[in-house]
Chain A
């Protein structure tokens, strides 16, 4: 226990050290977090009336972001499988980045659910034994269980690996491997359960389609990895952590498969709704064409569709997949495309038209945007801190000193612009 404490203390010392750029970046995030917190306090004080949600559209931007981020978190599994099931070395070296991303995304998910609650002071009603968790009846109860399990799982795995490396020990795979293997179905389950959360509601035909969970998974395996490709490049550009090109390209290849399945499933759903042309077509019509003069989402969903198809083509062709300019364009397109499709494009049409045929067009208020920005900043802050610890440990720049108590810190700067050693192409993200 003493050793854990010494490790944590070392980590705190480490987190306070860094270059000016590191300080500027963290300050920037902290400012956004403060702004988000202030906006949230305003919401707490006035009630959810400060959002644009109303009885007709009772979930909005918060739950959209939540849904999207569950996908991002689930995608860490795309690194764990090649790394530990197929033991492919270039990805094994970076699997931990995926696990840490999952931790950060889960933190954001839990925050988004919390800010959406009308009575956050009663969150303890969800804790089994102390409160009442309506398990297994309520899918939301399932979600509480699997999301927290997945968060703890990734935190424990990554934490134990880093802790072992810090003390210069081989991690005992006898303990880690079962957890790693368990994290694969756990990743799939968080997304499946989140899909079922919507899927199980017969009142909302837009969500009540069996294809919803497969679609969730397919799109998650696009957006999460796309985000990781962008992050990998930032990380290897700004820290002295090495990530091999082949690892990046392999992830890109996996995205191409996932995006194909995603587009195929979308097509299957669009066909079914339009060809059978029942009363259940209304929400889809509202989304893609506009209905009764209500068309707020139309331009968004077509943008998303265009982005996803373009990105699919870019990732399908090996030449464009292995060119960093087109690769990055594709990743950004996918990220935005899925953010729209699995966010507002999924949640809002479930409510429009509402169950009695009323139209209420929802678009988030300034408060909702500020709170959302604050939560994203919190997630990035968590990820930055985790990387601040993980990167030096993995590079052998942060380990326990000779005395066995005090840490040795080799990497004082962390964030420094490195000379591009991998690719001469201009990096879109470095500006």
Chain B
């Protein structure tokens, strides 16, 4: 199904506007956003699901967000909504024989994707495993903190969103605030999520993170190159996750995700599954690969392999 068809199918526009106006009167009495609320608060409140927006509505919202973020962070913030490119299905490979557990990917990701610094939100979690036991999550150490990595007798396994082809998180969302795009990236509409956290219970990889508090993002550290479905600043009370750096990878002069770029040992591979010449295709076709929790039939597009 093409993106447009999907979008058309999801449209229940009807008289939503009218119904919402009625609701607005009711809620207005309750004075939800308070007396000094600007018009944009109401616009945000009544904003529709991202996939149901028409082109002009979408542009208006992006402009509103850019204005808001630029004022908030004191710099020109770009909010893109670049759609998926046809013929692209993103895939990721991680070479366990190379990873040294330095966690540069964790913090590179935070810098790129505007995660909260206080409290800290990480989209990547690196597990320290014992060579004797292999990939045994029950004995994974999450909080290893040696003076030097790698450590004797251990190997490391970074885990982030596996961008499942059959994502359990998408299925359970009661309001369709999260979905899989045609290039395989599972995204969240932060303006539609109600914060029920059912997706977090459903995810077998601990890839989804909740903003328990208003994200603490210092203006100086804010990355102004953002995507609506990706690294734009998040409000409190919604779920977020890795998007394969959608703001980089979907652009014409596409860049690698930040974690791929920052990895000092080249353990991370990224590319288009549908391109026979891509590095990721080579790795899958020629290396011993495995996927995490294969028995759950989530069909991750995130492959672990051993190069050596």
Contact = CB atoms under 8 A, between A and B. Distances in A.
A126 B19 contact: no
Interface string B237-281: 111000000000000000000000000000000000000000000
Interface of B is mostly: loop
Interface of A: 46-49, 51, 53-56, 58-59, 113, 116-126, 129-134, 137-141, 144, 197-198, 200-204, 279, 282, 350-351, 353-358
B84 interface: no
5 contacts: A54-B212, A121-B32, A126-B174, A132-B175, A279-B138
B127 interface: yes
B211 A47 contact: yes
A49 B116 CA distance: 13
Interface in B173-192: 173-177, 192
Given A119-B238, A140-B172, A144-B174, A58 B210 contact: yes
A360 to B, nearest CB: 10
Contacts of A113: 196
A274 B218 CA distance: 50
A135 B99 CA distance: 42
Size range of the chain B interface in the assembly: 35 or more
B196 A122 contact: no
Contacts of B236: 47, 118
Contact of A138 (B125, B159, B173): B173
B198 interface: yes
Interface of B: 10, 12, 14, 16, 19-20, 23, 32, 45, 49, 52, 119, 125, 127, 137-140, 142, 159, 168, 171-177, 192-198, 200-206, 208-214, 235-239, 296-297
Contact of A118 (B10, B139, B237): B237
A55 B142 CA distance: 14
Contact of A350 (B12, B201, B210, B297): B201
B211 A118 contact: yes
B226 to A, nearest CB: 20
A47 B173 contact: no
Contacts of A117: 194-196, 237
A139 B172 contact: yes
Contact of B214 (A47, A59, A123): A47
A64 to B, nearest CB: 13
A137 B171 contact: yes
B194 A134 contact: no
B159 to A, nearest CB: 6
B200 A48 contact: no
Contact of B213 (A46, A121, A197, A282): A46
A124, A133, A198 — which one has the most chain B CB atoms within 10 A of its CB? A124
Given A55-B210, A130-B20, A357-B140, A203 B168 contact: yes
Contacts of B210: 48, 55, 58, 118
B213 A58 contact: no
A406 B224 CA distance: 68
A118 B206 contact: no
A48 B195 CA distance: 10
Nearest to B119: A49
A111 to B, nearest CB: 14
B198 A138 contact: yes
Given A119-B194, A124-B23, A134 B173 contact: yes
A200 B127 CA distance: 27
A355 B142 CA distance: 12
A126 B175 contact: yes
Contacts of A140: 172, 174, 196, 198
Contact of B138 (A49, A51, A353): A353
A118 B119 contact: no
